[in-house]
Amino acid sequence: MTNKSRTIITLVCSLLIFTVGMFRILTESLSSTPLFVAYILAITGFIGVIANGVILIKKLQSN
C-alpha cells in the first residue's frame, strides 16, 4: 500500500468521524452518544480532514 492510498483512506475515515459527530449534534437522534462525545468527534474529525487534505495535496503536487 502506497503512502498516497493510506492518506486517502485516513482522509475518508476522518470525514466519516466528522459526519457521525455532526449527525449527532444536528439531529440528536443517537441518544446513546453523549453530546460531549459528539463535539469531540466533530472537532477531531474536522482537524483530521484538514490535515490529511493538506498532506494529500502536497503528495499530489510532488509527482
Average pLDDT over the chain, rounded to whole? 89
Whether residue 50 has pLDDT greater than 90: yes
End-to-end CA distance of the chain: 17
CB 14 within 8 A of CB 49: yes
pTM of the model: 0.84
Whether residue 34 has pLDDT greater than 90: no
Q: DSSP letter string over 38-61?
A: HHHHHHHHHHHHHHHHHHHHHHHH
Tell me, what's the pLDDT at 22? 92
